[in-house]
Amino acid sequence: MVQVHFTQHLRHVAPGGAVAASGTTIRDVLADVFAKHPAIKGYVLDDQGRVRVHIAMFLDNTHIRRDILDHPVTPESELYVMQALSGG
């Protein structure tokens, strides 16, 4: 199962530690996580079902920037969901 990790900014709605989830894409994995922990969904996805602009995702140590939700995963994958930082 994919291990999904949420950073500190989501800890008030996400469980501490990794969440085990199944699926073949990030979309599937997140749907599984949201089914178990529905309060997280609104912080990660907007009302159109897209990843919010302030959310960054790293899959197996790679920052996923395009087609995030359709990106394939393996059962051994680790997904990190975090707040994106910007500024100058």
What is the tens place of the pLDDT at every residue in 22-77? 999 999 999 999 999 999 999 999 999 999 999 999 999 999 999 999 999 999 99
Residue 63 within any structural domain of the chain: yes
Residue 55 within any structural domain of the chain: yes
- Of the candidates 32, 15, 14, the one whose C-alpha atom is nearest the C-alpha of residue 23 is 32
Residue 30 within any structural domain of the chain: yes
Pairing of strands 2-6, 78-83: parallel
pTM listed for this prediction: 0.91
- Of the candidates 83, 79, 66, 76, the one whose C-alpha atom is nearest the C-alpha of residue 29 is 79
**For the chain, how many structural domains are there in total?**
1
Is residue 88's pLDDT more than 90?
Answer: no
Residue 88 within any structural domain of the chain: no
- CATH number of the domain that 65 lies in? 3.10.20.30
Per-residue pLDDT, 19: 94
Per-residue pLDDT, 12: 82
